[in-house]
Amino acid sequence: MLLTQVSTLYFHIMNSKSTLKGRGAQLNVPNRFFELSHEQRDDFLEFCHKEGEITDKNKTLYLPVFPKTIVNKVTSPDVGMMYSMNPYQGCEHGCVYCYARNSHELWGFSAGLDFERRILVKNDAPKLLEKLLKKKNWKAQTIVLSGNTDCYQPAEKQFEITKQCLEVFLKYKHPVGIITKNALILRDLDILMELAKDNLVGVNISITSLSEETRRILEPRTATAKKRLETVKTLSENGVPVNVMLAPIIPSINSHEVLPLAKVVSEAGALSIAHTIVRLNGAIGEIFTDWIRKTLPDKANKVLHQIESCHGGTLNESRFGVRMRGKGQIAKQINDLVNLARHRYFKGKQMPKLNTELHEPYKVGQMKLF
């Protein structure tokens, strides 16, 4: 009897501390829009353990969705874009800190594991984009891929929706921005080079750490730091302008890497850097707290308290103009480091302003003759 109790206790302890490989979030948090929620009971988990059954196969599902429009007007004044589009909702990269997780709740899923394993695929995105660009009342403004979830996440290798959208942008001579942390973008280098000839594209590559161990636990299904640096170099050498996002900067996890990161990305050809200080809005606070207590238990309290110190004593900061940069001594040190990095490594460099003048004559898909 005692042996059985000890074995059961050991199982519960091991289960509570084990981590799902290849995933950032380690649980599905309740959807805030649902009145009811569910959870896996310990007695169910124990039964499955005894029977040798797998309770969670940890598989990714691709689910087609059919929106009526694809381009969204961005109303937030501090994100640096006017329009965005997302070929996918949810993201297999599994970055545990990702601000986009909360948007998955709007689709009826959890911001936790569902965000990484229930990927909504918008196959009609290229057609919807073309329909917009052909409208007489549309005035060219940079549209950013994606603004929410990564347009070059693993699903793109199969569906090629981003590639088709880039072909539409090229056809209509329309400016496009790209945000990604995946080296898959190099697959479309030929299209990007054609866009760059007319100053119609700017690429933002996100690099959070030079440490592969840090990258692996923070962003489990993303390209390695080495691959991302190679991507910056290849794009730059082929005339595609690149800004590097040092984002997010997390105190005591990657905050010490600001200067080394800035140096190597500048040497790789990046024209500028941008940064944010991590903020854990909505369900992300619970997801990140659960993750760090399982993954980095020895420094969990320190990191969480330092994040709170950047946001007035809370993990989340939603005020425009403050939320991205934070406040307090630690936030000031980080922001000062980024400013020093710009002065030291990016003097005389800047991203070009994209061309919005070419699009109008191409609204019928080819240059008007008269």
> What pLDDT sits at residue 18?
57
When the pLDDT of each residue in the chain is averaged and rounded to a whole number, the result is 87
* Cα 87 to Cα 33: distance, rounded to the nearest angstrom: 24
> What pLDDT sits at residue 8?
33
Name the CATH topology of 60-276. TIM Barrel (3.20.20)
- List alpha helices for 100-221, DSSP H: 113-117, 125-133, 155-159, 161-171, 189-197, 212-218
pLDDT digit string, tens, across residues 149-160: 999 999 999 999
**155, 92 contact by CB (below 8 A):** yes
- On the question of pLDDT at 269 being above 70, the answer is yes
> What pLDDT sits at residue 12?
35
Tell me, what amino acid is at 221?
A: R
> What pLDDT sits at residue 105?
86
The residues spanned by each domain of the chain are: 60-276
- On the question of pLDDT at 285 being above 50, the answer is yes
> What pLDDT sits at residue 169?
98
Q: Give the residue-averaged pLDDT of 145-150.
A: 89
- On the question of pLDDT at 186 being above 80, the answer is yes
Q: Does residue 73 sit in helix, strand or coil?
A: strand
52 pLDDT tier (thresholds 50, 70, 90): low
Q: Give the residue-averaged pLDDT of 175-194.
A: 98
pLDDT digit string, tens, across residues 69-97: 999 999 888 788 999 999 999 999 989 99
DSSP string over 297-334: TTTHHHHHHHHHHHTTTSS----TTTTTT--SHHHHHH
> What pLDDT sits at residue 49?
54
- On the question of pLDDT at 112 being above 90, the answer is no
Q: Give the residue-averaged pLDDT of 212-236.
A: 95
Supply the pTM of this predicted model. Answer: 0.85
2 pLDDT tier (thresholds 50, 70, 90): very low
What are the residues facing 121 on neighbouring strands? 64, 88
Q: Does residue 277 sit in helix, strand or coil?
A: strand
Nearest-CA neighbor of 195 among 19, 34, 355?
355
> What pLDDT sits at residue 32?
56
Count how many residues are written for the chain: 370
* Cα 99 to Cα 118: distance, rounded to the nearest angstrom: 17
Q: Give the residue-averaged pLDDT of 129-140.
A: 96
By percentage, how much of the chain surpasses pLDDT 70?
A: 83
pLDDT digit string, tens, across residues 307-343: 999 999 999 887 887 888 999 999 999 999 999 999 9
- On the question of pLDDT at 13 being above 80, the answer is no
> What pLDDT sits at residue 19?
65
